Amino acid sequence: MADEELINKIHELSDLELAALICLVAEEHCIIDTDPDALGDLVQELQLVASKVFGLTYAVIDCNSHTTLDDFAHAILSVDAAPTRTNSPAISRRDSYFLQTPAFQSINRPSIPETTDNKKIANVIIARNLDEAPQQIQIQALELMRTKRLFTRTSIQNAPKRFLFIAAIAGGEGPRLTKHLNDYMFISHVHDPEDGFPNLEDMFTDDTSSTLSVVKRSPTIQVEESLWARISPMDIENLAQQSKNTTVSVEVKQYQQNIASFLRIHRAVATGISAIATKHFDKLVRCLAPLHGLPYATPSLIALAARKIYLHRIEIVSPERERSMQWGSDLDAIREMLDGIGPEEVIEDVLGSAGAEAPL
């Protein structure tokens, strides 16, 4: 069981910080969703989470339908020397701070020659609008997550031990990435802008530091931040080890399997539930237990894990393909039944009284 000091630190984390911690403990990757108007703030908050909370380097790639493989490879490589202000492509009222960190590199106007000798993959990759990227880019992202390697024109780059890929997307429900990439993502989390961006807000309300000092950050500051990270590599390693030792009773395991079975046969689910989703389900349950100071899994942790694992995986069936149509159901009645049902409603239906029965 995690020590009390670590548990207290975990309880102080925001939802975004907690999502990142879970993925780092599980050595997996995630999708973070928010409103379109708040996507820019979300990306900048995630940068601060990576550097200030975990002391990790980060890189940001702004994806669109014209993003090429070279753009993708160049953007996710961290440069040892900080790029100059004029080489930054970002447009934001706050960009002066974020683009002076050594982990960010322009994908349009590189400040150094096109070699990889002085580059490495950052610990945290934040892919903004990854769902808008071409299929080949999403396949490359999947390959990077699976192999922890990036193949460039001149070299092979290995990802660091602490490696997290975050797809930051906006709006919509259900799967929006390519099928295999979407299924490989460990968890998804929807961040409500009303919940705020605490690290971003603290940066602009801290009266003890001037704007000038923020703009003129040096490459050594990020190294110092890693030494004073709120969640250290040792904390992450400790939680990872405890997650492997989490006890899951037979009754709780049965409840977990029943949830997966009920989701597979739900009338509103189009494509069923994949095997990797079930594997991730079990892994998340084991990771959540030490975060709550428990050496064992509980039914409430099972329900919490289900909401995070399946939200981005469930695809709602079209009325024409709903299974009861094979036996002569009325199409208008099916449309009415499916109206307003999304992945979240399906999960809550399965977790409710009409779904899998939780053990006492």
Mind listing the pLDDT tens digit for each residue in 329-353?
A: 899 999 999 999 999 999 999 998 7
Cα-Cα-Cα-Cα dihedral sign, residues 297, 300, 303, 307 = negative
- Is there a shared CATH topology between the 4-237 domain and the 245-351 domain? no
By the 10 Å C-beta count (0-12 exposed, 13-18 middle, 19+ buried), 154 is classed as exposed
What is the rounded distance in angstroms from the CA atom of residue 85 to the CA atom of residue 95? 9
Give which of 262, 245, 356 is closest to 297, Cα–Cα.
245
pLDDT at position 83:
43
From the candidate CATH numbers 1.10.8.80, 2.40.50.100, 3.40.720.10, 3.40.718.10, the one assigned to the domain spanning 245-351? 1.10.8.80
Decide which of 106 and 274 is more confident.
274
Rounded percentage of the chain residues whose pLDDT exceeds 70: 81
Give the long-range contacts of residues 83-87, CB within 8 A, separation 24 or more.
83/111, 84/111, 87/111
What is the rounded distance in angstroms from the CA atom of residue 182 to the CA atom of residue 184? 5
pLDDT digits 0-9 by tens, 195-238: 999 999 888 776 445 444 443 333 333 444 555 788 999 999 99
Secondary structure letter of residue 62 according to DSSP: E
Return the amino acid letter for 281: F
Give which of 51, 339, 312, 91 is closest to 181, Cα–Cα.
312
Pairing of strands 149-151, 124-128: unpaired
pLDDT at position 117:
56
Q: Which residues pair with 78 in a beta bridge?
A: 120
Count of C-beta atoms within a 10 Å radius of residue 152: 16
Strand arrangement of the beta sheet that strand 124-128 belongs to: 58-62, 124-128, 164-170, 30-34, 187-190
pLDDT digits 0-9 by tens, 37-85: 999 999 999 999 999 999 999 999 999 999 999 999 989 886 553 443 3
pLDDT at 95 exceeding the cut of 70: no
H-helix segments, 114-171: 135-147
Q: Does domain 4-237 have CATH number 3.90.230.10?
A: no
pLDDT at position 358:
87
pLDDT at position 115:
54
* Mean pLDDT lowest among 34-48, 75-89, 120-134, 180-194: 75-89
CB 302 within 8 A of CB 355: no
Written as one string, the DSSP assignment of 316-337 is BPPGGG-GGGGGT--HHHHHHH
Overall average pLDDT of the 132-157 stretch? 92
Residue ranges covered by each domain of the chain: 4-237, 245-351
